[in-house]
A and B are shown apart, each in its own frame.
Chain A
Amino acid sequence: MADNFDLIVVGGGPGGYVAAIRAAQLKMKVAVVEAKHLGGICLNWGCIPTKALLRSAEVKHLLDHAGEFGISAENVKVDLPKVVARSRAVSKQLSGGIGHLLKKNKVTVYDGYGKLMGGGYLAVSRDGKPVAQLAAPHIILATGARPRQIPGLEVDGKQIISYFEAMVPETLPKSLLIMGSGAIGIEFASFYATLGTQVTVVEMMDRILPVEDAEISALARKSFEKQGMKILTSATVKKAEKGAASVKVTVEAGGKEQVFEVEKVISAVGIVGNVENIGLENTKVKVERTHIVVDGYARTAEPGVYAIGDVAGPPWLAHKASHEGVVCVEAIAGLNPHPFETWNIPGCTYARPQVASVGLTEEKAKAAGHEVKVGRFPFIGNGKAIALGEPEGLIKTIFDAKTGALLGAHMIGAEVTEMIQGYVIARQLETTEAELMHTIFPHPTISEAMHESVLDAFGQVIHF
C-alpha cells in the first residue's frame, strides 16, 4: 500500500525544499525524499559553508592589514580546525532549520533514496532496503549534481580532491593547484591563498571566471596575482603523478609544458547531473549530457514528472533551482505563472575581491546585435569605498543604446554580491536608464557607484 501525496519532491536541496514549501502553501499534501542532508549541497557542501570559510579568511585579511586602520594586531594565527568547525556548525544549524520549516509546513520527509517506478509511484530505499512506497500525480526530481571527473585526474579524496574535501582540510596545504576557475575554483583559491597557501589556478579558457565580462575577469586576475596566486589560462592539465607527499602536475599552456609540484590538487572542472539510479529508465524522461531535458515549467517528457535545479541544466545556482521549483509548483497548481526564464539570473563569486553580474557581457551584447552604451565607475571615485579601505573595484553597466534597456551589469569589489540585486530588480521591472538615473542612492554607500556607472554610460558621471 503506497502513501499517497499530491506532490513528491525527490531531493531536499534549495530546489526541492523550496518547491515543497511552496506546494504546501498551495494546500498540496507534499513529501520530500532526501538521502543525506536537508538543504542539499548548497547548504551543506556548497554556498553556505564556503561563505563561512571565506569569512574566516576575510577576518584574517583584515587582521593582517589592521595596522593600516591604526589597530595593532600581533601574532595573528589561523586555527584551521576551528575555522572548519565553525563552517560545519553553520551548515548544521541551517540544515536543521530546513527540517523545522518543512515540519511547520506539514511536509513529510522520507529519509532515503527515491526511485521512479513509473505510473506515479516512487520507491524509497535506505541502505539498499525498501522503506516506503509513495504515489503522487506529480513528482519533481531535484536530485542535484556532483563534481565532474576528468579521466586520469580522478578525485581520490586525498591528493586530488573535490570541494567536499577542500571544505574540511585538516591541515593547511603549503601548495595547491586548482583545476578550473569558475566560481568554485576561484573561491577556494581565494580562501587558501588568503590563509597562506601557494595557489596555482589552471583554466582551459583564455581567462578566469570565463562567464564574466572580460574586463571584470581581467581585473580579478590582476588582483589575484597581486595577492600571490599563479594563474595559467588557455592551459590544460596533461597528467598528475602522485608521489608520497606531493603531486607533480604537468600543465600545457601556449605549446609549452610546465611541471608544478604541489601538495594537493583541487578538481573544480564542472559538475554532472545526478540522473542515475532514480528510475528514469521506467519513464520517458529524456537526458542530454547528464541533465534532464525540461521545458519552461520544468516538465519532462514523462507526464507528471518534473525536474528542477542542477539536474535540469545550467546555470547551476541555488537561486535558479529555488525559482524553477516555485514556477513548476505554481504551474502544477494552475496558477498560470510565467515560464521559467534565464535572462535575469545573477551570479556571484565570493572571492576577495567579490564578483557579481547579471545579464549580458559587453561581448555578448554586441554579438547579439545591440548597439551599446557602456558605463564604468571605479571604486576609487566612491567615498565609502575609500573610507572602508576598499578602493579596488569597478561597476560596469551595459545599455542598449536605442531602448535604454539595461542589458547587463558587471561588478567587482567589496560587497558587490550584496548590491547586484539592485540591478536585478531594475531589469525585472524593465526600467530604462531614465529611472535608474532618477533613483536616489543613499550617501555614503558603495551603491552610489552603481548610480554613477549608469550616469557614465550616458556621459553624465559626476565623481569621475
Chain B
Amino acid sequence: MAINILMPALSPTMTEGKLAKWLKAEGDEVKSGDIIAEIETDKATMEVEAVDEGYLAKIVVPEGSEGVAVNAVIGILTATKGEAVTAPAAAAPAPVAAAPAPAAALAPAPTAASPAAAQGERVFASPLAKRIAKQAGIDLASVKGSGPGGRIVKGDLDGAPAHAPVASPAPAAAPAPVAAPAPKPAAPAPAIAAPHKAIPHSTMRKVIARRLTESKQSVPHFYLNLDIELDALLKLRAELNAKSPKEGAGAFKLSVNDLIIKACGVALKRHPGVNASWTDEAIVQYDEVDISVAVAIPDGLITPIVKGADRLGLAAISNAMKDLAARAKAGKLKPEEFQGGGFSISNLGMFGISSFSAIINPPQAAILAVGAGEKRAVVKGDAIVAATVMTATLSVDHRVIDGALGAEFLATLKKLIEEPLSLLL
C-alpha cells in the first residue's frame, strides 16, 4: 500500500516552502527516523524525518522546487520494493512529522504545485497594464490595483515610479516630508546594461529585502548614540574566563557580546517599554526578555534568539549563543529559534566599525548597534586619560518609544556595562 509523504509545516504560519534536497532516491529503503529530505523556509533548512517504513517509490516534487504548499504530496512510500505507483495515493495518514492533517487530494501532475506559486504572490493585472509596466520598467508588485478584485489596470500605472526616462521634468529635490503619509512603493531596480553577473535571489535574500524595506519605509526610526567605557567589563570578562574549567560541561569563554546581551537583558527588564511592539490597536509589552542577536551567515543574516536573557547566567548565555550561531551558519535553526524576540542586537565591533545605525527588525521597536571597543582619549576630572570605549547606537521606533525612554534605557545600559558586577547578581 502507498503512503503519501506530505510537505511539512515547519511553523504555524508557514504556508509554503522550498523542497531543497532529496536525501533518498526513488527505490531507496526508508526506515522510521531516516532523514529523507531537506526543506528550506524563509530562514532555515529543516530535515524531514520519515515516520513510516518502506521504500521511496516516487518523488512527486523534484528537489529545488520552490513554493511547495504545506501538505502537498512530495513523495510516495510503498511497503514493498518495486510496487507500482502512478499517482499520489488517496489521502492517507500523514507520514511526516509535524504534518497535521491528511492532504487534500492534489493534482497528480508532479510540478503542478511548484512553478505557479514559485514567484511569490500572484499579481493580477490587465494584459495592457502588464505590457505598459514592462515597457516603462514599472514593478507591478509595487502598484495598487483599483480594478475588480484589486486587479491592476492601465490607469493605476499613472504616477507609478518608472526608471525609464520620461518626458516629464524630474521632481525638484525637495526635502522629504517628515511625516510621509504612506509607504511609497519600492522603486524598481534600473535595467542594467553594463556587463554583470546576476545572482538570483535566495528565499532569505527576498525576506531580508522585503522586511527591511518595509521597516525602513513604514517605521519612524530615530537614533540615539552613547559612548560606553568597557575597561571594567573587559577586566571582569578576563577574570571570569580565567576561572572557567578547561573542558567539560561547565567550560565557557565569555565574549564581550555575551556580556552586552546580558546587560541588554537586564536593562530591558528595567525598561519594559523598550521590549515592545507597535500594533494598530495597542503597544504590546512582552513578558519575557528575548533578545534577537544578528548572526552573519554565508548568504545573508539571521537573528537567533537568546531567550530569558535577563535571567540566564553569563555562561549559559555564552554557550547558548555559541550553539545558536553555529547552527545558524549551518542553516539548522528551528523556526522557533529565530522567530520572535522583543529586541535586537547587531554587533559589528569585530570588523573595527566605530558606530553604525541599524534598521529595526519588525515587529520589534528597537535595535542596538554595537561598534568596536577602542582606546580613546577621555576626560576624567580634569585629566585626559586613555579608556576603552565603544559607541552604541539605539535605533528606535518612535511610535512605541519616545526619546526620553530610549535615552533612559541607554543610560541604564551604560551604567550596567561600566559597573558590570551588577550583571552577576
Contacts and interface: CB of A to CB of B under 8 A. Distances in A.
Interface of A: 338, 402-405, 429-432, 434-435
Interface string B114-132: 0000000000001111011
B128 A430 contact: yes
B135 interface: yes
A434 B127 contact: yes
9 contacts: A403-B131, A403-B132, A404-B131, A405-B128, A405-B154, A429-B126, A430-B128, A431-B127, A434-B127
Contact of B146 (A338, A429, A434): A338
B307 to A, nearest CB: 46
B260 interface: no
B324 interface: no
B135 A403 contact: yes
Contact of A431 (B128, B132, B135, B146): B128
B146 A430 contact: no
B135 A432 contact: no
Given A431-B126, A432-B127, A434-B127, 7 more contacts: A338-B146, A403-B132, A403-B135, A405-B128, A430-B126, A430-B128, A435-B127
Nearest to B128: A430
Nearest to A336: B146
Main secondary structure of the interface of B (DSSP, over half): helix
Interface residues of B, number: 10
Contacts of B153: 430
A435 B126 CA distance: 11
Contacts of A430: 126-129, 153-154
Interface of B: 126-129, 131-132, 135, 146, 153-154
Contacts, number: 26
B48 to A, nearest CB: 42
A431 B153 CA distance: 10
A437 B301 CA distance: 48
B10 to A, nearest CB: 40
B135 A402 contact: yes
Nearest to B126: A430
Given A430-B153, A430-B154, A404 B128 contact: yes
A-B pairs, 9 with minimum CB distance: A430-B126, A430-B128, A432-B127, A431-B127, A405-B128, A435-B127, A432-B128, A403-B132, A430-B154
Contacts of A338: 146
| Interface hub of A403, A404, A430 (most chain B Cβ within 10 A) | A430
B328 to A, nearest CB: 47
Contacts of B132: 403
B156 to A, nearest CB: 11
A434 B131 CA distance: 10
Contacts of A435: 127
Contacts of B146: 338
| Interface hub of B129, B132, B153 (most chain A Cβ within 10 A) | B132
A402 B132 CA distance: 9
A430 B156 CA distance: 12
Contacts of B126: 429-431
A404 B153 CA distance: 14
B125 to A, nearest CB: 9
Contacts of B131: 403-404, 432
B157 to A, nearest CB: 11
A338 B132 CA distance: 21
Nearest to A400: B128
B149 to A, nearest CB: 13
| Interface hub of B126, B128, B129, B154 (most chain A Cβ within 10 A) | B128
B416 to A, nearest CB: 54
